[in-house]
Amino acid sequence: MDDAGDVVFRALLDAGRSGRPVALATVVDTRGSVPRHPGSRMLVDPAGALVGTIGGGCGEAEVIEAAEEVLRTGVARLVRVALTDSTESWSPAVCGGVMTIFVEPVVATAP
């Protein structure tokens, strides 16, 4: 496990020990040029605190919004993030690829 994965794993364990719910976002598929690859993870807690990253920028903001919804509803979902330049975009994405991120609620308790 790399250092970033280790940090997310420790934060997930800490959340479990304290009984705090978190949303775990995992990049599960990519196409084209993207900032992060399958297996990259990010934790989002109900207060909006983040551990790890799935790439930053507008795409990560979309995933954070989805994570907040997942925490409210308890229902996992897939989020497709298109990192392509769009005429509607206020911040052009330069990567040009597409990522699919699985966002799931995690409420773990330590034994």
Residue 86 neighbours by CB under 8 Å, 6+ apart? 92, 93
Residue 75 neighbours by CB under 8 Å, 6+ apart? 105
Task: Specify if 60 maps to a domain.
Answer: yes
Task: Specify if 75 maps to a domain.
Answer: yes
* Confidence (pTM): 0.85
Task: Specify if 42 maps to a domain.
Answer: yes
One-letter amino acid at 67 equals A
Residue 94 has pLDDT above 70, yes or no: no
Task: Specify if 111 maps to a domain.
Answer: no
Task: Specify if 27 maps to a domain.
Answer: yes
* Boundaries of domain holding 47: 3-106
Quick one: pLDDT band at residue 108, thresholds 50, 70, 90? low
**CA-CA distance, 81 to 101, in Å (whole number)?**
8
Residue 5 neighbours by CB under 8 Å, 6+ apart? 39, 41, 52
List pLDDT tens digits, range 18-42.
888 999 999 999 999 899 999 999 9
List pLDDT tens digits, range 41-79.
999 998 889 999 998 888 899 999 999 999 999 999 999
